[in-house]
Amino acid sequence: MSACGSSSTNGPVNLNFYSSPDPNGTNLKAAKACSQASGGKYKITFVPLANSADSSRALLVQRLAAHDSDISLMNMDTIWTSEFAAAGWLRPITGAQRAEALQNVLPIVAQGAQYKGKLYVVPLNTNAQLLWYRKDLVPHPPTTWSQMIADAKRLPVSDGLIEEQGQEYEGYTVWFNSLDASAGGQITTTNGTPVLGKPAVVAAQTIKDVATSGRADPSLSTDQEDQGRLSFEAGKAAFMVNWPYVYAAARTDAANSAVTKHVFQNMAWAPYPAIYPNVPGRSSVGGANIGVSVYGPRPDLAEQAAICMTRPKWQNQEAINEGLPPVTINSYANPAVVKAYPFASVLLKQLEHATTRPQTPLYSDVTLAIQQTLHPPAGIKASQDVTNLRSCLKTLQTGGLC
């Protein structure tokens, strides 16, 4: 293995891995195993980041901008890649290491790990949203958003709600981006040039249609993933668009609630809802990668460590133990993964139809512009708001402020 070798005469190099808290998780086990397998070359030490992705990003940006040599490895949200790469903070992964880092990796994940054709991060885990529904209320899952609204209206309001992420935060951008891609659109090019067209108008109108359907959760405009999950578990909703972690969460919570137990026993899954019949819906891809800082003591060893920590063994373990979808295609046929993920085949298919969020160094500004322009969901004026958003993104591209 590339992460193995003879012991260093000067002792192992300490590689600080800045990551979200992971006291007993798979990443920590992988770090220990890879440190031992390095033959004394390196030792990976965890440094906890904040629980909030925004706070973690802010801390890393501040320290990398100051060329902080304490950071060797970083657990990075997939949407940070272009920004960090454009700033020159990440070590490009080339040659045999690039091939190893991308071996058997899903194409959409490999795409999101690159910036201008170069690989800048090692894929760690991925994600795509699915449609979750109550099979005791709905015998056949809807395939489109309009069909889901119609199906919900045939049910009592008391248990026929639709759960989505409508708060003014990143989850709202995910919703709009997924709908725009499902309608055949794209928000920006890789250099930030806006390409919002008719699909964006359709996407914005779809959000409003859900919000004003009478079947959206009354708290839609302030809901994130967990609020929707808990409402679904409480038996208030027939439909929920959310990430795969909700399945394991419902299974755990079912032990403490008769209502949640009933919901879990009738919890089914289907592909992300489409905009148009016979055209697959495209969920925004999520997940995390490991980035190698150019300012660490031995970026070459950090690169080896990152590749070691993301091998198929650890991909499978993270899927089973943490409920985080693996990036390697073969993992979706692994019996242990399939047991923990009975929806693995549907998720794999969804990842094949997934879309990235705008891959631009300006992403943090782009997502804020989307959230501010299109919120609240029920107040959307589709054509006007998309025109305003396009104008705002053009201003951002020229260095201005909206």
Per-residue pLDDT at 7 exceeds 80: no
CATH class of 13-119+286-352: alpha beta
Q: Summarize pLDDT for 271-303 with one digit per residue, the tens.
A: 999 999 999 999 999 999 999 999 999 999 999
Contact in structure between 35 and 7 (CB atoms under 8 Å)? no
| Domain segments of the chain as ranges | 13-119+286-352, 130-283+358-397
Q: What is the pLDDT of residue 53?
A: 87
Contact 148, 320 (CB under 8 A): no
Task: Say if residue 2's pLDDT is above 50.
Answer: no
* Banded model confidence at residue 8, pLDDT cuts 50, 70, 90: very low
**Spatial CA neighbour of 240 closest among 282, 268, 203, 212:** 268
pLDDT grade for 383, boundaries at 50, 70 and 90: very high
φ/ψ of 125, rounded to 5, equals -150, 170
The reply to whether 130-283+358-397 shares the fold of 13-119+286-352 is yes
With vertex at residue 31, the alpha carbon angle to CA 29 and CA 33, rounded to the nearest 5 degrees, is 70
Residue 322: the pLDDT is: 87
Write out the chain in H/E/C secondary structure.
Answer: CCCCCCCCCCCCEEEEEEECCCCCCHHHHHHHHHHHHCCCCEEEEEEECCCCHHHHHHHHHHHHHCCCCCCCEEEEEHHHHHHHHHCCCECCCCHHHHHHHCCCECHHHHHHCEECCEECEEEEEEECCEEEEECCCCCCCCCEHHHHHHHHHCCCCCCCEEECCCCCCHHHHHHHHHHHHHCCCCCECCCCCECCCHHHHHHHHHHHHHHCCCCECCCHHHCCHHHHHHHHHCCCEEEEEECCHHHHHHHHHHHHCHHHHHHHHCEEEECCCECCCCCCCCCECEEEEEEEECCCCCHHHHHHHHHHHCCHHHHHHHHHHHCCCCCEHHHHHCHHHHHHCCCHHHHHHHHHCCECCCCCCCHHHHHHHHHHHCCCHHHCCHHHHHHHHHHHHHHHHCCCCC
Does the pLDDT value for residue 9 go beyond 80?
no
What's residue 116's pLDDT?
A: 94
Under 8 Å between Cβ of 60 and 121:
no
pLDDT for res 107: 98
Q: Is 29 exposed, middle or buried (0-12, 13-18, 19+ CB in 10 A)?
A: middle
CB 303, CB 95: distance < 8 Å = no
- pLDDT given at position 24: 64
- Mean pLDDT for the chain overall: 95
**For residues 313-339, average pLDDT:** 94
Condensed to tens digits (0 to 9), the pLDDT of residues 174-227 reads 999 999 999 999 999 877 899 999 999 999 999 999 999 999 999 999 999 999
pLDDT of 247 strictly over 70: yes
Q: Which CATH architecture has domain 130-283+358-397?
A: 3-Layer(aba) Sandwich (3.40)
Percent of the chain at pLDDT exceeding 90: 91
- Residue 399 confidence (pLDDT): 87
Q: How sure is the predictor about 23, in pLDDT bands with cuts at 50, 70 and 90?
A: low
Per-residue pLDDT at 3 exceeds 90: no
pLDDT classification of 386: cutoffs 50, 70, 90: very high
Residue 6 has pLDDT above 50, yes or no: no
pTM over 0.85: yes
Q: Find the angle CA(316)-CA(318)-CA(320) to the nearest 5 degrees.
A: 70
